[in-house]
């Protein structure tokens, strides 16, 4: 089974493009993920991943995320072999996201570059946000 779960911060603003004749949306961004400190190291090491998010979820990522935002990504690892301009064989490791959960709370400043959006706008979806329900509308 090819499954990966990562939590980290965006290293750059998301880039939204479309592909194919159907103009399917794909959003790409970098993710920095810290590893736990080893006994020999005084600071944690960081791994950098390229993330691709497709269709509506990709459009939401492009709309609501910015450099520095914290996200949880669940997806699959894809490995690509290619040759660079000089003919040197290279290997690229990418993550194709199945799910991206926004972890930076609304209105909270993230570690971001100057000029990046400072907070989510009022329409930001939040899976965990509960809305009050009137008692008379409950079926029991």
Point out which residues pair with 71 in neighbouring strands: 8, 102
pLDDT digit string (tens) for the chain, length 140 residues: 999 999 999 999 999 999 989 999 999 999 999 988 777 777 778 999 999 999 999 999 999 999 999 999 999 999 999 999 999 999 999 999 999 999 987 666 655 433 333 333 334 444 444 445 455 554 54
Residues whose CB falls within 8 Å of the CB of residue 139, separated by 6 or more in sequence, listed in order? none
| CATH code of domain 4-35+42-137 | 2.40.50.140
pTM of the model: 0.71
């Amino acid at each position: 089974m090819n499954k990966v779960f990562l939590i980290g911060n965006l290293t750059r603003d998301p880039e939204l493009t479309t592909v194919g004749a159907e103009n399917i949306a794909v959003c790409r961004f970098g993710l920095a993920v810290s590893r736990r400190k080893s006994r020999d190291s005084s600071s944690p090491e960081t791994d950098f991943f390229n993330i691709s998010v497709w269709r509506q979820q990709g459009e939401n990522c492009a709309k609501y995320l910015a450099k520095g935002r914290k996200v949880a990504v669940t997806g699959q690892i894809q490995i690509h072999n290619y040759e660079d301009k000089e003919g040197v064989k290279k290997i690229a490791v990418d993550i194709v996201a199945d799910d991206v959960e926004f972890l930076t709370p609304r209105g909270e400043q993230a570690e971001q570059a100057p000029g990046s959006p400072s907070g989510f706008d009022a329409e930001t979806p939040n899976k965990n946000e509960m809305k009050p329900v009137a008692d008379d509308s409950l079926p029991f």
